[in-house]
Amino acid sequence: EDQVTQSPEALRLQEGESSSLNCSYTVSGLRGLFWYRQDPGKGPEFLFTLYSAGEEKEKERLKATLTKKESFLHITAPKPEDSATYLCAVQAVAAGNKLTFGGGTRVLVKP
Partner 1 sequence: DSGVTQTPKHLITATGQRVTLRCSPRSGDLSVYWYQQSLDQGLQFLIQYYNGEERAKGNILERFSAQQFPDLHSELNLSSLELGDSALYFCASSPGISISTGELFFGEGSRLTVL
Give the footprint of partner 1 on this chain (CB under 8 A): 32-34, 41-46, 49, 87, 89, 91, 96-104
Instruction: Indicate the residue among 33 and 62 with the shorter CB distance to partner 1.
Output: 33
In whole angstroms, the minimum distance from the beta carbon of 73 to partner 1 comes to: 14
In whole angstroms, the minimum distance from the beta carbon of 9 to partner 1 comes to: 11
The one-letter amino acid code at 109 reads V
DSSP for 28-58, please give it. Answer: SSEEEEEEEEE-TTS--EEEEEE-STT-EEE
Four-point Cα dihedral 19, 87, 99, 1, nearest 10: 70
In whole angstroms, the minimum distance from the beta carbon of 97 to partner 1 comes to: 5
